[in-house]
Chain A
Amino acid sequence: MFSRPRPAVGGITPPAVAPGGETPRLRIVDAEVYTDWESVYRDNVARLYRLLYARVGNRADAEDLTSEVFSTALPPLRLGASKGEVRSYLLVTAKTVLASHWRRRLGLPVTSIDPDSDIGYLDDRPTAGASDAPERADRILSALPDRYRRILELRFLEACTVKEAALAMGVSLANAKVLQHRALRMAAQVAVEMGL
């Protein structure tokens, strides 16, 4: 618990200070700051959208949620905060907005945002901003039997309808549906086992 500092009398010592008794000067933590809301928006809108798209999988919801995050986060935002602080703030706002979305849509949190591990979507490192979805999908698909992998590739990655997928695989429409169901169930099991 926080306490108020007390004077060094009666055996009670004040809070620790640096050796030598000199209190070090506080440094300016980050020279890069946002000076207006438009900078915050322009610098982060695509990154935030990409993260939300990876968590909902469709453009309409990703757009709505991105809008909600900025509408929520920008009005109370204190300009002059460092980039890192603002991005952390956006990220935790996105976490809250996404959780609310899934409560409304399905009643359970299908996907979520972890401000610690997802900060890479928003930072300035060379690899930042890239979606982790392709890597996750690749890991899942590579663990499946060939036919299961193929039907999921056709449906989810190559934008085929079930009918088109059936034609591509040389099976009936009914068989393609059964194949997709079984493949997706196995993929989900694989994802859980991989901790994805």
Chain B
Amino acid sequence: MSGRRLWAFVDAVAAGRRPRRVRADPEDAALLRTAIDLRAARPGAGRPGERFVDDLHRRLADRLAEPAAQGPPPRSHRARTALAAVAAGAALVAGTVAVTEATDPAAPAASRPPRADMLRTGTFVGADHRVLGQIVAYHGHPGWVFMKVAVPHYDGSLTCELQSADGSVVAFGTFRVHHGIGQFSTTIRVRVGTLRGARLVTSSGSPVASATFA
């Protein structure tokens, strides 16, 4: 970014204006980030206006009330929304998606937003009611499951069992936990819509946590 454009961007940030679209250089990033940090620290900043909150509420209400027969929104907006929705849904355990995509050529392309019955999420809770992680199952061809756990003071392997509505185990897999942190993602070949929950057990079979899919 040229010096003039860089400082025009900074001046816009300082004044709280929307900066213009420019092409920035990587070496400018720290300076721009610092300007944003300083501006965002202004006393009273960061509170949304009541009018904005009410307007957005009304727009969302209109949109959510639209029957499907009225047709989809314009294509460009729909495509952007779809990509964001899939990325967001799949990335509930951030950082795992990229690893899996890199190692699994069968990874599904992010092309459509997930329907409610396609994305299942759950929170792993231990016996002491502490939240120990999250799990996301995505119905596709193939389906995917992602999980991330934080089990304090634990090192070793954990087995995750996926349970169907009748309580039977329909799939299971093992992954490693290092210094209490573990992530696991893989494809699955079970019907995600029939899953009831998941549970984590140690290699000796001791239960660690369980989750119920929403």
Interface residue count on the B side (C-beta < 8 Å): 103
Give the interface SS of chain B, mostly helix, strand, loop or mixed.
Answer: mixed
State the Cβ distance, A50 to closest chain B Cβ, in Å.
4
How many A-B pairs fall under 8 Å by CB? 288
Query: Complex Cα distance A178/B62, Å?
Result: 50
B172 touches A5 (CB 8 A): yes
Question: Contacts A29-B122, A85-B214, A156-B41 known; A57 to B35 CB distance under 8 Å?
Answer: yes
B212 touches A28 (CB 8 A): yes
A15 touches B169 (CB 8 A): yes
State the Cβ distance, B185 to closest chain A Cβ, in Å.
10
A26 touches B163 (CB 8 A): yes
A16 touches B24 (CB 8 A): no
Question: Contacts A54-B40, A76-B119, A136-B41 known; A191 to B33 CB distance under 8 Å?
Answer: yes
Chain B residues lying within 8 Å of A63, measured Cβ to Cβ, are 48, 52, 56
Query: Complex Cα distance A23/B201, Å?
Result: 11
Query: Complex Cα distance A100/B116, Å?
Result: 24
22 residue pairs A–B, Cβ–Cβ below 8 Å: A2-B188, A3-B171, A14-B169, A15-B169, A24-B207, A26-B199, A29-B210, A46-B48, A54-B37, A55-B40, A57-B40, A58-B17, A75-B85, A80-B214, A85-B123, A85-B134, A92-B87, A93-B84, A137-B41, A152-B38, A188-B34, A191-B34
Which residues from chain A sit less than 8 Å from chain B, CB to CB?
A: 1-5, 14-19, 23-24, 26-30, 37-38, 41-42, 45-46, 49-50, 53-63, 66-68, 70-78, 80-82, 84-85, 88-89, 92-93, 95-97, 100, 104-111, 114-116, 131, 133-134, 136-138, 140-141, 152, 155-157, 159, 161-162, 181, 184-185, 187-189, 191-192, 196
